[in-house]
Chains A and B, each alone.
Chain A
Amino acid sequence: MSGQVLPRPAMSGADRRPISLHVGVLALLFGLQFVLPAYDHTNMARIMILASYAMGYNLLLGYTGLMSLGHAMFFAAGLYGAGLAAYYLGFDPLSAFLAGTIAGVGLSVAVGLVALRTGGVSFMIVTLMFAQACFLLTLYFNEITQGDQGIVLDLSAWSWDLGGEEGPLGLISPPIRYNLALLLFTLCLLAIFFLMRSRIGRVLIAIRENEPRVTMLGYHSFRYKLGALTLSGTMSAAAGATYALLFSYVGSTFAGIQYSILPLLWVLLGGQGTILGPLLGTALMFYLVDISSEYTSSYMLIVGVALVLLVLWFPKGILGSLRQRWLPWLP
């Protein structure tokens, strides 16, 4: 992905605009829950979790310049790590979340140590193969995972009395679900935001731009790429774990190729190498599919056409194009 013009604002330390914008977006997301109708309320919770997954993906593609075609394995590691721990071992939601996230750390380090010995197209192929292997494992261990059919989790035992009129709120009650999804999204957003302002972020972007030069500046680029892949995989796994717990379902669909391609599309749509691009891309695509499927069963065709148009006129994604033309300070 190197060679693409993805400018980065200079010394944004003194500029308050990026911080204001991101705090504003988080406040907007918080406020939305009080006005959204029930259907969109659930959708938004789902979008925020998937956008966290996309942000993890964007860390690798947009900022480090590594295109993975196998991120579904990390999402699925979190999903199964949390779901199976809750289903078979009776983990409480927080422990199950941690189990899923730790599974993601382990898998991304292991995959990174092998896959990062390659680059470019080879990296895409190797990650794709790893992900297919993981997908097949979820089918192979059918007795545990129930394969395609999946497992529905019963987490109704976990509820909290927040003093509301409707009594204790369950884990999957809309307010809890929405705000936990928002919490995940906020943590991921802040992590990326501060990482990209740090010196490590500067090195990652430099690796995207010109890796051989970075090694000649005294950086062991492999370590930085492994770190980026691990954080990316961990974020994806955290999103997967949250998804399993808040939507009470784990199934092998989430390990399939489609869930490796989706974050790529979300990020390309919203703008790779921008912090809010993944959220924008995920939300737009989600509603594009949602609305077009009301009219036709071949809704993926409409999505495809929309993406082709987008790539033709906004090759850097929506926020990438905005940044290039009008908002150079956008991180």
Chain B
Amino acid sequence: MAAVTASEGALLATRGLSRRFGGLRAVDGVDLTVARGEIRAVIGPNGAGKTTLVSMICGRIPVSAGEIRFEGEDITALRPWSRVERGIAYTFQITSIFQNLTCFDNVALAAQRGLPCRGGDAELARKVERTLARVGLEGRGSALASTLPYGHQRLLELAIGLALEPKLLILDEPTQGLSEEEIVGFCALVREIATEATVLLIEHNMPVVMDLAHLVTVMDNGRILAEGTPEEIRANPEVQRAYLGT
């Protein structure tokens, strides 16, 4: 089963994906395959190239070499908006919500895509309310995003990603700056999201990674150092040396 999904039914597959910034090889020949329905964590020390990798996948930065396939289609040259249309959503590491707009408008921007223009307003309002409720922000639609506490802004960022109804949701350090309590709620939410979408998670918080991920990919210096189940990664001496520091 695993072998089949890896070659044929993979949602996302990169081959030799590389990105150079001047002389620096931020990402260097990465082959990453993510199966449908998986929660995949990408971990690694600062500067390992994790954010650069997912930025290439969602189209924020162009690739230097290699290719990206999504549902079997080569999307390497596609612009970001075309990738969103195909089902890739990215939530930012540094919260990038629309501070001066209301929560409703923030989510509606993502939710209104694909809804009929005529008579779709009631449906849009319902969809936005539903999405806000899903992340625990019900009733906050009319609040300006900038007035939300930081943890709620992260949830709003997640709601924007969910409203795009993605097949692949990329979460870039989503728990950064959240309290322990918020993290517990967040993990439950990601598990629920994973029943509908594939999740690619960049995370520093090891308990979260070990708790959520089906498979973990460890990056170091722009390359993949190891890949395996959380247990395998925990036991891998190379990973421990490079990253876990034990």
Known pairs A11-B141, A206-B109; A213 contacts B98 (CB<8 A): yes
A199: min CB distance to chain B, Å:
5
Residues of A within 8 A of B109 (CB): 202-203, 206, 214, 217
Residues of B within 8 A of A220 (CB): 79, 81
**What 6 new A-B contacts, CB under 8 Å, besides A215-B81, A218-B84?**
A8-B101, A213-B92, A213-B96, A215-B79, A217-B113, A220-B79
A55 at the A/B interface (Cβ < 8 Å)? no
Residues of B within 8 A of A210 (CB): 96, 98
Known pairs A216-B58, A217-B110; A10 contacts B102 (CB<8 A): yes
Known pairs A11-B141, A11-B142, A214-B109; A6 contacts B117 (CB<8 A): no
Residues of B within 8 A of A205 (CB): 101, 105
A227: min CB distance to chain B, Å:
15
Residues of A within 8 A of B79 (CB): 215, 220
Residue among B98, B108, B141 with most chain A CB within 10 A = B98
Q: Which residue of A9, A11, A216 is within 8 Å of B125 (Cβ)?
A: A11
B164 at the A/B interface (Cβ < 8 Å)? yes
B112 at the A/B interface (Cβ < 8 Å)? yes
CB closest chain-B residue, reference A210: B98
28 A–B pairs (Cβ distance < 8 Å), ordered by A: A8-B100, A11-B102, A11-B141, A11-B142, A199-B112, A202-B109, A203-B109, A206-B98, A209-B98, A209-B101, A210-B96, A210-B98, A212-B60, A212-B96, A213-B92, A213-B96, A213-B97, A216-B92, A217-B81, A217-B110, A217-B113, A217-B160, A217-B164, A218-B80, A218-B110, A218-B113, A220-B79, A221-B81
Residues of B within 8 A of A13 (CB): 121
In the bound complex, CA of A220 to CA of B78 (Å): 12
CB closest chain-B residue, reference A9: B102
Q: 5 tightest CB-CB pairs across the interface, nearest first?
A: A218-B84, A10-B102, A10-B142, A209-B98, A199-B112
Interface residues of B in 58-96 (CB under 8 A from A): 58, 60, 79-81, 84-85, 90, 92, 96
A7 at the A/B interface (Cβ < 8 Å)? yes
Known pairs A11-B125, A217-B84; A202 contacts B108 (CB<8 A): yes
Residues of A within 8 A of B105 (CB): 8, 10, 202, 205-206
| Docked-complex contact A216 and B60, CB < 8 angstroms | yes
Interface residues of A in 189-228 (CB under 8 A from B): 199, 202-203, 205-206, 209-210, 212-221
B61: min CB distance to chain A, Å:
11
Residue among A203, A213, A214, A220 with most chain B CB within 10 A = A213
A5 at the A/B interface (Cβ < 8 Å)? yes
In the bound complex, CA of A203 to CA of B100 (Å): 13
Residues of B within 8 A of A206 (CB): 98, 101, 105, 109
CB closest chain-A residue, reference B112: A199
Q: Which residue of A202, A215, A216 is within 8 Å of B112 (Cβ)?
A: A202
Residues of B within 8 A of A217 (CB): 81, 84, 109-110, 113, 160, 164
B104 at the A/B interface (Cβ < 8 Å)? yes
B144 at the A/B interface (Cβ < 8 Å)? yes
Residues of A within 8 A of B84 (CB): 216-218
A168: min CB distance to chain B, Å:
44
| Docked-complex contact A11 and B104, CB < 8 angstroms | yes
In the bound complex, CA of A7 to CA of B81 (Å): 26
In the bound complex, CA of A117 to CA of B125 (Å): 34
In the bound complex, CA of A210 to CA of B160 (Å): 14
In the bound complex, CA of A214 to CA of B96 (Å): 10
CB closest chain-B residue, reference A215: B80
Residues of A within 8 A of B92 (CB): 213, 216
CB closest chain-A residue, reference B84: A218
Interface 0/1 of A76-108, CB less than 8 Å to B: 000000000000000000000000000000000
Residues of B within 8 A of A221 (CB): 81
Residue among A11, A206, A217 with most chain B CB within 10 A = A217
In the bound complex, CA of A301 to CA of B175 (Å): 56
| Docked-complex contact B117 and A199, CB < 8 angstroms | yes
A117: min CB distance to chain B, Å:
15
Interface residues of A in 1-47 (CB under 8 A from B): 5-11, 13
Residues of A within 8 A of B7 (CB): none
| Docked-complex contact A218 and B81, CB < 8 angstroms | yes
In the bound complex, CA of A6 to CA of B144 (Å): 11
Residues of B within 8 A of A213 (CB): 92, 96-98
CB closest chain-B residue, reference A14: B125
CB closest chain-A residue, reference B87: A218
In the bound complex, CA of A5 to CA of B100 (Å): 6
Residues of A within 8 A of B58 (CB): 216
B205 at the A/B interface (Cβ < 8 Å)? no
In the bound complex, CA of A10 to CA of B100 (Å): 11
B195 at the A/B interface (Cβ < 8 Å)? no
In the bound complex, CA of A249 to CA of B79 (Å): 48
